[in-house]
């Protein structure tokens, strides 16, 4: 993660609140040869790296969970719709079409109704004209 300011803020709160990771601080203290200021600087660097790693693992796991859910949903949709495999181009075309097709507006519905009424009227006039001959 490039913008790790949040992690530095978290470590600063840990230090201010006396809730530092004791084992990690002890390791930093040993690496600083007993110099408390150097140990604190080393602790900050190590703790930020640790928080970044935890964050990256959490994000990776969430993405894996979402991918698994999507695969399961795609497989279920394919089974429910009696379509071919979720990896097939036909299935993907179907998914794209059904998920991106907008719902018809009221105006579009009225245009369809008026068109059908017009067709019925023309059909009725043709039948009436043929009966009148």
Greater confidence (5 vs 103) lies with: 5
Q: Helices (H), strands (E): how many in the chain?
A: 5, 0
pLDDT per residue as tens digits for the range 65-78: 888 888 888 777 66
> Which of these ranges, 14-18, 38-42, 73-77, has the smallest mean pLDDT?
73-77
What pLDDT score does 103 carry? 72
For the chain, give every domain's residue range.
5-101, 104-133
Its sign, for the CA torsion 110, 115, 119, 122, is: positive
Per-residue pLDDT, averaged over 1-22, amounts to 86
d(CA 46, CA 14): 13
Q: pTM score, two decimals? A: 0.51
Confirm if 91 and 73 have CB atoms less than 8 A apart.
no
pLDDT at 104 > cutoff 90: no
């Amino acid at each position: 993660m490039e913008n790790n300011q949040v992690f530095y803020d978290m470590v600063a709160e840990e230090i201010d609140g006396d809730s530092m990771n004791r084992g990690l601080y002890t390791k930093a203290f040993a690496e600083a040869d007993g110099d408390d200021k150097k140990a604190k600087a080393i602790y900050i660097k190590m703790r930020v790296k640790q928080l970044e790693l935890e964050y990256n693992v959490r994000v990776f796991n969430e993405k894996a969970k979402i991918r698994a859910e999507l695969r399961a949903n795609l497989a279920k949709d394919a089974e429910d719709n009696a379509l071919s495999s979720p990896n097939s181009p036909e299935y993907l075309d179907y998914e794209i079409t059904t998920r991106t097709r907008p719902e018809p507006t009221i105006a579009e519905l009225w245009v369809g109704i008026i068109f059908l009424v017009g067709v019925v009227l023309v059909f009725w006039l043709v039948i009436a004209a043929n009966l009148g001959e």
